[in-house]
Amino acid sequence: MSNMLEDSAKQVFAAHCGGDVVRAIEAGGDASALWLAISEAGFADALIPEAQGGTGLHPSDLGVVLLQAGAAAVPLPLGQTMMVRAVLSEPDTVAGPIAIAAGAAQTTAGLTLRNVPYGRVADWVVAQVSGAWCLLPCADATVTPSAVHGSLAADLQWSELPAATALPDRDWRAVGALVTAATMAGAMQHLLAQTVAYAGDRIQFGKPIGKQQAIQQQLSVMAEQCYAARMAAQLGLSLPDSRDATAVAKSRVGEAAAQVGPIAHAVHGAIGITEEYDLQLLTRHLIEGRAAYGGETYWAAELGRSVLATDKAPLAFVQDMSAGKRLPEAL
């Protein structure tokens, strides 16, 4: 199934987000050229209603773009930005990538947000400050990388509380979890293609390692987990306001990632551990994504509590959830 949005995302990321670009941005380079290309393609405004000058799409339609963004290891919070811009009353006044803070804001001296995913490359950040969700400009913040080598997460610190724009009350951490699940599923899809191709090329014992049953069985498991992850992400995006569906997406995608990343590395052998080989751009995203906005156990427990609070049969619960989904439109 091909679709214009997907083709356009593939083209933009192929032209502007190669492995060298990702590495340069992760090393502290300027991301504005990439962001410009993404904005000009219209992705950032795709969820803004048509009446306000946007494209008026549903998150379900944007799944293909986020999957491609994940596959290209796009080093920017594209999904977060799309979702936040959709609710801004004056999106034209908010330029640049928008991050969503995962943890609680500290307001003792000025304002501190710890370990914000994509905090190093964001111009804006969504955070819950004193109980209220708001959008904050990063311009005056001190940005300190907060995680491992290559990570884009950062601590953001303001000496004084910056001017904040109020946002509609919704659980923006769940939004972060949902779009992270989608880019992770895209990363896994690309890892599968990369790993299958490698297994076909790499000769050991006189034949491609992909001819060995032991490798074939591992790649089959990898494919299964990739299909489950992609379906979980699609389901979540088709029900963006359902916390249950987000819980399904983030917990199931995380569980898949816990298998897919290690299999990709196991099949590649030592080359996959190197800086120069592109595998690590994706497997690092999976590890970071699993922990961002709540891991598998957190979201599974959220879903479990929700199920236990009803008297529904298990199948009826998932049937009812599924009945409300909005299928992606063929564009």
* Cβ–Cβ < 8 Å for 127, 105: yes
- Whole-angstrom Cα Rg for the chain: 20
Output 26 or 302, the one with its CB closest to other proteins.
Answer: 302
Instruction: State the nearest-atom distance from the C-beta of 232 to other proteins, in Å.
Output: 5
User: CA of 200: how far to CAs of 46, 207, 208, 267, 279, in Å?
Assistant: 38, 9, 5, 11, 16
Q: Return the residue of 87, 94, 164, 223 that touches other proteins, per CB under 8 A.
A: 223
Q: Is 51 in the site for other proteins (CB under 8 A)?
A: no
Nearest to 177 by CA among 251, 256, 270: 251
Q: Does 55 bind other proteins (CB under 8 A)?
A: no
Amino acid found at 248: V
Binding segment for other proteins (CB under 8 A), chosen from 46-54, 102-110, 134-142, 308-316, is 308-316
Measured from the Cβ of residue 1, the count of other Cβ atoms closer than 10 Å reads 6
Please, what sign has the CA dihedral across residues 195, 199, 202, 204?
A: positive
CB 236 within 8 A of CB 79: no
Min CB(57)–other proteins separation in Å: 15
Question: How far is the C-alpha of 255 from the C-alpha of 31, rounded, in Å?
Answer: 31
Question: Any contact of residue 207 with other proteins (CB under 8 A)?
Answer: no
> What string marks each residue from 59 to 98 as x (binds other proteins by CB under 8 A) or -?
-x--------------------------------------
Q: Is 200 a residue that touches other proteins (CB under 8 A)?
A: yes
DSSP assignment letter at 155: E
Residues 243-262 binding other proteins (CB under 8 A) are 245, 247-248, 251-252, 255
* Pairing verdict, β 203-204 and 154-158: unpaired
Tell me the closest approach of the beta carbon of residue 228 to other proteins, in angstroms.
5
List 220, 241, 266, 331, residue binding other proteins (CB under 8 A): 220
| 193 touches 149 (CB < 8 A) | no
Please give the residue ranges that form the binding site for other proteins (CB under 8 A).
1, 60, 196, 199-200, 210-211, 213, 215-217, 219-221, 223-224, 227-228, 230-232, 234-235, 238, 245, 247-248, 251-252, 255, 296-297, 299-308, 311, 313-319, 321-323, 325, 327-328
